[in-house]
């Protein structure tokens, strides 16, 4: 469970992270970075590509500056994955509401 999110910081199960992360279920993949920074591409999804998911929540940053590429949308569509794009604060709320069941979160902590 995500306990707290603020600009540049997220707390997951008592552990604080100051770099972007991916969550798949309850597993944290720290120090997540995208090849093109503020553009999320399919190749940036890493462990999400190997997971069986119903929903992918993308936290687009505090101010929503990260964009989701068309290849990510297509990947989700082809695999029956519901894609939710929200500013990071709202993305945390959405992810927590799902109780980690069949869901993943890719979250940009700043901008």
Q: Write out the chain in H/E/C secondary structure.
A: CEEEEECCEEEECCEEECCCEEEECCEEECCCCCCCCCEECHHHHHHHHHCCCCEEEEECCCCCCCEECHHHHHHHHHCCCEEEEECHHHHHHHHHHCCCCCEEEEECCCC
pLDDT digit string (tens) for 74-105?
Answer: 999 999 999 999 999 999 999 999 987 899 99
Asked if residues 16 and 9 have their Cβ atoms less than 8 Å apart, the reply is: yes
pLDDT score, position 65? 97
pLDDT score, position 45? 97
> pTM of the prediction?
0.96
pLDDT score, position 99? 81
pLDDT score, position 66? 98
- How far is Cα 74 from Cα 7, in angstroms, rounded to an integer? 29
pLDDT score, position 100? 73
Spell out the domains of the chain, with CATH numbers in brackets: 2-107 (3.40.1230.10)
pLDDT digit string (tens) for 42-65?
Answer: 999 999 999 999 999 999 999 999
107 φ/ψ angles, rounded to the nearest 5 degrees:
-125, 130
Confidence of residue 26 (pLDDT cuts 50, 70, 90): confident
Tokens describing residue 62: 């505090």
């Amino acid at each position: 469970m995500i306990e707290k999110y603020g600009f540049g910081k997220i707390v997951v199960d008592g552990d604080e992270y100051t770099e972007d992360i991916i969550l798949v279920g309850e597993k944290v993949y720290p120090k997540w970075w995208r090849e093109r920074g503020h553009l999320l591409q399919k190749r940036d999804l890493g462990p999400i590509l190997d997971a069986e998911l119903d929903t992918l929540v993308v936290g687009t940053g505090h101010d929503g500056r990260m964009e989701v590429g068309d290849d990510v949308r297509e990947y989700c569509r082809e695999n029956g994955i519901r894609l939710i794009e929200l500013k990071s604060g709202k993305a945390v709320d959405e992810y927590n509401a799902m109780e980690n069941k069949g869901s993943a979160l890719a979250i940009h902590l700043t901008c």
